[in-house]
Amino acid sequence: MKNLSSQIAQFRLICFLEGVTLLVLVFIAVPMKYVFHNPIVSEIFGPIHGALFIAYVGYTVLFAAKYKWSFKKIFWVSIASFFPFATFYVEKRVLSKIPA
C-alpha cells in the first residue's frame, strides 16, 4: 500500500481505517461513555468513523460497478462494515485479489 494514487490502494486504506475506528468505538469509546461517563472518545471517533463508513460504502459501489461484482460479493463486502474485524478480512481476502 505504498502508492495511494490508485483507487484500490485508497479503498484498502479506507477498509483498514474504518475497521480501526469501529474497534475503537466498540471496545474503548462505548465503555468509556457508559461505564465511566466520559464521552470524549466517542465524540472524537464517532464523526471520523461516520465519514470513513460513507467512503467505504461509496468505494464498495464504485468497485461493484467497475469490476462487475456479484450480488453476493456486494452484500458481504457491504455487511462487513458493521462487524469488528470484518473490514480487515475484506481488505486481505477480497481487495488484495484485484490487480492494482
Decide: 45 and 29 in contact? Cβ < 8 Å.
yes
For residue 41, which of 55, 24, 53, 65 has the smallest C-alpha distance? 24
pLDDT of residue 78: 95
Domain borders along the chain are 7-96
pLDDT of residue 95: 87
pTM: 0.88
pLDDT digits (tens, 9 = 90+) for 81-95: 999 899 999 999 888
pLDDT digits (tens, 9 = 90+) for 28-54: 999 999 999 999 999 999 999 999 999
Angle at which helices 71-79 and 40-66 cross, to 10°: 170
Q: For residue 14, what pLDDT band results from cuts at 50, 70 and 90?
A: very high
The phi, psi pair for 92, rounded to 5°, reads: -80, -45
pLDDT of residue 96: 82
**Interatomic CA distance for residues 2 and 33, integer angstroms:** 36
Decide: 22 and 49 in contact? Cβ < 8 Å.
yes
pLDDT of residue 1: 47
Could you give the 3-state DSSP secondary structure of residue 84?
coil
Which positions ≥6 away from 90 have C-beta within 8 Å? 15, 76, 77, 80
